[in-house]
Structure 1
Amino acid sequence: MSQTAPPNGELSRDARRTLVRQLADQDMSARAIALKIGVSKDTVRRDLDALRQDAAPVAQTDAPPAPAPAPPAQVGAPGGARLELDLDDQLRRDLATIARTGVPAPDAIRFAVAFVAHGYRWLWSTGRYPEGSAPPRMAIRIPDPPTPIRRTEDPTP
């Protein structure tokens, strides 16, 4: 069985919930998701409950209006700082590719950043790369699809 979880299983909660949502959308059970990403089935169930709660409609109240968004900040700024990024053509194409899976762009960005950051932390903590340095490239292991993919056309000439 292939593992989706990073080597030491320390996905951030948001990244883990994004992954749980993707796998649940593929009709995987909580137990199967737990085995695949290396957490308990209770953690998966709590994540699914939280995702359902987040998706529930919010009742209108007489609450004061939300504050204006914070100005853009530098990467690594503390707190809830915002990051603004101009989308070049390649990034726009990459986000469009991810969007084809049904993952909203903000979730895709959070997951990708968390995944790469986790990879760096793992490389540094295991001594494979000096802290603060980035490898020239990284690879991921792609799990087998839950069901075989069937071709609609004959690939032979």
Structure 2
Amino acid sequence: MQSRRTPTDVLARMDSLLGEEPPARSGAVWRLSEGDRQLDANVIRLAPGTEVPAHVEPDVDVLLYVVGGGGRLRTDEGAVDLSPGSLVALPRGTSRALSAGAQGMAHLTVHRRRQGLSIRQGPSRPVGGVPSVAAAACAACGRRVREADALYCARCGTALPTG
């Protein structure tokens, strides 16, 4: 029988996840993983000077909390500088881009958990054809890539493979 987490369990320690040095590369360093949860949560680190290009989360509202470093958030409404302790609510459908400052940026995202992906037959392709990017999934968090021209994962900001 699998033990269930209790409300008093500590899920992670930010000082242990983030360390003291700016990250050398970007990506998810922690994710909520219990199977029967209603929420998804991730801690994402962006290396100094990197950017997550503008993208839209069409399905869920996202709460973003900066836990380390700093940077800038750009939306259709304007831009705002982010520092540790900044808390931003991003309604679904909001176009947003993040850029990390000189120390990089670490942030926690929290949103309603999406329905599980189902396997179904995709469109046929010509012999020798290249698999559709839309059939791919992010290697870091597993989110299915929906946009054919996506360069970064819309959930965690990890660069997607090209070509």
TM-score normalised over the length of structure 1:
0.25
Name which structure has the greater RCO, CA cutoff 8 Å, separation 6+: 1
Between Structure 1 and Structure 2, which shows a larger proportion of helix residues? 1
Q: Which structure has the highest strand share of the two? A: 2
